[in-house]
Amino acid sequence: MNSIERNINDLASDDGVVRDRARKALVAAQGHEVVHALIAELVDPRKRVRWEAAKALADIGSPVAALPLVHAMTDEDDEVAWLAAEGVASLGEPGLLAVFSGITRDCHSLEYCKVAHHSLKEFRKIGNHVEVIDKVKKALEGVEPKLSAPIAAYRALQELKLDMAAK
């Protein structure tokens, strides 16, 4: 068993110090293999492992993790979902594209709408694309976010892609 596998296994430890050490070692190692191993752990049946994987992916900041973190925003555990929402915000534009895309597909529950709103608040703190973000946030805050947010997110996605292409 190599060090990546050992650290991934340690994310399930009952000992918080062992989990923390393992997560920090994975973050320090970074790299393609680590990111993909952590992405696989986002669907582990144990909440603790999913949380640790989301935290490590957020700390690594690889754009490859954007869509998997958006998917983790649908996690049945609120702590994992909210951590994924914050983690994807740390990825900048690739994360924002992924969140808008996720809203177009996954806004079927009010709980997901709340998590997506939380993520957009985190993006807004960064200060880029504020006007586009605010349009989607407003839709998520409206009377029927499950209906209005996907449309607003689709429009925002198109606007953001145009902005990025113009640069």
Q: In the prediction, which pLDDT does 1 show?
A: 66
Which pairs from 63-69 meet CB under 8 Å and 24+ separation?
63/91, 63/94, 63/95, 64/32, 64/35, 64/36, 64/39, 65/35, 65/38, 65/39, 65/91, 66/91, 66/94, 66/95, 66/97, 66/98, 67/98, 67/101, 67/102, 68/39, 68/42, 69/42, 69/95, 69/98
Enumerate the domain spans of the chain. Answer: 1-60, 65-167
What pLDDT digit, counting tens, does each position of 83-108 carry?
999 999 999 999 999 999 999 988 88
Q: What CATH number should be reported for the domain whose range is 1-60?
A: 1.25.10.10
Q: In the prediction, which pLDDT does 50 show?
A: 97
Q: Which residues of the chain have pLDDT under 70?
A: 1
Its pTM stands at: 0.92
